[in-house]
Chain A
């Protein structure tokens, strides 16, 4: 992805929530660049800050949230740089949806149940200055065809007349209505059945090829990330602890947490597997541990992990990691992989 134009650049973004118990550090010092046409998958467990980060990018955070530090720079089609955090309400409305759209988790709750799908589309278009109904209709029908829906029928339906997978496809089409450059997908296939998930993944892949938008993909399911991402970022306790090309992250993880996630994910076509969970549970974001946030659960932890935060460092081309023991993690991962591939060979013979 290097060398391609950067569409969205996030630098040192920190977001906190003010809660009764104190300041909750949801996202801390996150930086990344999203290139044209790139799909970035954010993986991590619940409460690691993936959703907050994306709400922050769209400036959709609730009132008790505070963007403490950081910069979000968006480059529009004309090459103009826009500082998202400095946008006023009016330009923000223009930025959302027509430049950067979001497809929310849970298609059941994201569509208005009392109006037709067509009215939702007309409303959206109107709010963004498109008043020519027949043009909007044409565009919507074309998108419905692209996401493999029966266009006429769905256009004139109420959400309850559609199945979960169809609703999710409507949401995807709705997100693409104004031809945004960046689309954020928040767990788009969670809560869908296997065969439905497959068809949504196929639709997303084809759409990306055809329309060339960039996307940020939030998922707790590693398999989905493996399938769709170009770049993967692992988040833990609000930080990006490792980021790199998808194959690097899956085959040569260098952060103990990424390796832990890999080792906890069963794979279907590999024979018998020895898996291991990660001991303990994620830290309390109000009282964060010192040093590396993962050290309490980490089998590799050494003294310095407890006191000083490991910096994000370049490990190979496009692959950064914040771990003092990254070379040991890499070795351990290779060992585990060779064991599991012998298991596979044993089963095939």
Chain B
């Protein structure tokens, strides 16, 4: 990785949620850095903590312990001006375009609030010009047709474009796209992603792309990195082609082997990695040691169920993996006694 200062950095971040009297550890010991202009994908199944991580990055949720640094400085305990600056620089696009836009305001109004709040425009003519510009940037043209419409008059894809325009309005340095295209139809998805990509290329905005769809992550973040999460921890991180092409962690291997492909011959030939159990353990009762060990076909008794594996470098290419048998050179082998699922 570059030695450049990261834009945002999480250091040993934990986050608990209270449910009744029990504490549910949603994130455990997350350390991640996003550099300016970078694409980082967070992938994993539901409940793995990807959205919580994204929300902590943009400051919508506070961490329970650990540190969040923006340009090397902690985000908490900043002065008012500094805080507003940090808030402005990090924006989020939410998953559901039907819930994230106020239904009683027009698109023009929705886009004007952040501009006014952060004093980015000084008069009405400028405001109007900026809104026009934003709508054009996200390919909602002609802008004149859109500004006076209400969210319900737009399609899902168009609404998501409005969300992107809103995030963009304050000249952010990072956009967290939380499943931003998962509720949009296949034919619209790619053009939305292309819009995001072109904005990144044009303005050098870093993108944290949160998704459960690895094929989409592969397409969007080919030049970036992918972090695979499982039950609140990052289990593997590395450059996209590495992770997708030669996954190391057993969980990543299982995910990639399980995904059907839009190619009948390829998908029917694919060999699935058999798991020891199909059930995801509950967050209330996370297995000791490596959280994946009850399902892992490569489970080594006495090793994997004892110690929580830390993310450690695997090769010289910046790929890191949290798996003791791998990082300690024991290798992975399917044991007969384990293989029966």
Q: Do A and B come from one complex?
A: yes
Query: What's the nearest-Cβ distance from chain A to residue B210, in Å?
Result: 15
Report B229-279 residues with CB < 8 Å from chain A CB. Answer: 241, 244-245, 254-256, 258-268, 270, 272, 275, 278-279
**How many angstroms from the CA of A260 to the CA of B158 in the assembled complex?**
19
Q: Which of B218, B222, B262 contacts A250 (CB 8 A)?
A: B262
Please report the C-alpha to C-alpha distance between residue A279 and residue B262 in the assembled complex, in whole angstroms: 21
Are B188 and A226 touching (Cβ within 8 A)? no
Question: What 0/1 pattern do residues 179 to 208 of B give for CB contact below 8 A with A?
Answer: 000000111111110100000000000000
CB distance from A181 to the nearest CB of B (A): 25
Give which listed residue, A222, A250, A266, contacts B219 with CB less than 8 A: A266
- Given A194-B212, A220-B185, is A268 in contact with B264 using a C-beta cutoff of 8 Å? no
B266 touches A281 (CB 8 A): no
Chain A: minimal CB distance from B50 (Å): 12
Give the docked Cα–Cα distance between A261 and B295 (Å).
Answer: 35
CB closest residue in chain A, given B48 = A193
Chain B residue nearest to A348 (CB atoms) is B245
The answer, yes or no, to whether A272 is at the interface (CB within 8 Å) is yes
* B157 and A281 contacting across the interface, CB-CB below 8 Å: yes
Give min CB distance, B238 to chain A, whole Å: 16
Is there a chain A Cβ closer than 8 Å to B61's Cβ? no
Residues of B close to A194: CB separation below 8 A: 45, 212, 214, 255, 258-259
Which residues of chain A have C-beta atoms less than 8 A from B127's C-beta?
Answer: none
Which of these binds chain B: A20-28, A113-121, A196-204, A328-336?
A: A196-204
Contact of B190 among A264, A270, A271 (CB under 8 A): A264
Smallest CB–CB gap between A269 and chain B, Å? 6
A278 within 8 A of B: yes
B186-A227 in contact (CB<8A): no
> A193: which B residues are within 8 A, CB to CB?
45-46, 212, 280
B5 at the interface (CB under 8 A from A): no
Q: How far is the CA of A201 from the CA of B263 in the complex (A)?
A: 15
Q: Is B215 on the interface with A (CB-CB < 8 A)?
A: yes
- Residue ID in chain A nearest B190 by CB atoms: A277
Residues from chain B with a CB closer than 8 A to the CB of A277 are 187-192, 194
* Residues on the B chain within 8 Å of A227, using CB: 260-261, 264, 267-268
Complex CA distance for A268 and B255, rounded to whole angstroms: 11
With A and B bound together, what is the CA distance between A226 and B189 in angstroms?
Answer: 19
The reply to whether the CB of B155 lies closer than 8 angstroms to some CB of chain A is yes
The B-contacting residues of A in range 220-266, CB under 8 angstroms, are 220-224, 226-227, 229, 246-247, 250-251, 260-262, 264-266
Known: A194-B255, A227-B260. A247 touches B265 (CB 8 A): yes
Return the contact of B261 from the options A46, A148, A196, A268 (Cβ within 8 A): A268
- Verify if B308 is at the interface (C-beta below 8 Å from A): no
Alpha-carbon distance between A7 and B186 when the two chains are bound, in angstroms: 32
A347 lies within 8 A of chain B by Cβ: yes
Give chain A nearest CB distance to B151 CB in angstroms.
Answer: 15
The verdict on B216 contacting chain A, using a C-beta distance below 8 Å, is yes
Contact: A223 with B187, CB < 8 Å? no
In the assembled complex, A45 has its CB within 8 A of some CB on chain B: yes
The answer to whether A268 and B218 have CB atoms under 8 Å apart is yes
Task: Give the residue name and chain of the A residue nearest to B154 (CB).
Answer: A281
Is residue A123 within 8 Å, beta carbon to beta carbon, of the partner chain?
no
Contact B260 A163 (CB under 8 A): no
What residues of chain A lie closer than 8 Å to B185, measured between beta carbons?
Answer: 45-46, 220, 282
B218, B222, B244, B264, most chain A CB atoms within 10 A: B264
Given known A193-B46, A276-B190, contact A267–B261 (CB-CB < 8 A): yes
A199 to B260, CA, bound (A): 11
The chain B residue with its CB closest to the CB of A232 is B264
**Contact residues in A for B255 (Cβ distance below 8 Å):** 194-195
From B188, which residue of chain A is reached at the shortest CB distance?
Answer: A277
* Binary per-residue interface labels of chain B (278-314) against chain A in the complex, 1 for a CB within 8 Å, 0 otherwise: 1110000000000000000000000000000000000
A180 at the binding interface (Cβ < 8 Å): no
**Which residues of A lie under 8 Å from residue B275 when comparing CB positions?**
195
**Distance from A146 Cβ to chain B, minimum over Cβ atoms (Å):** 15
Give the complex CA separation of A260 and B186 in angstroms: 10
Q: How far is the CA of A279 from the CA of B157 in the complex (A)?
A: 11
Taking Cβ atoms with an 8 Å cutoff, the residues of A that contact B are 45-46, 148, 163, 165, 193-199, 201-202, 220-224, 226-227, 229, 246-247, 250-251, 260-262, 264-273, 275-279, 281-282, 347
21 sample A-B contacts, Cβ–Cβ < 8 Å, listed by A number? A148-B278, A194-B45, A194-B258, A201-B260, A221-B260, A222-B186, A223-B261, A223-B262, A229-B264, A247-B264, A250-B262, A261-B186, A264-B190, A265-B186, A266-B219, A267-B262, A268-B214, A268-B215, A278-B187, A281-B157, A281-B188
Which 3 pairs between the two chains have the least Cβ-Cβ distance? A277-B191, A277-B190, A278-B187
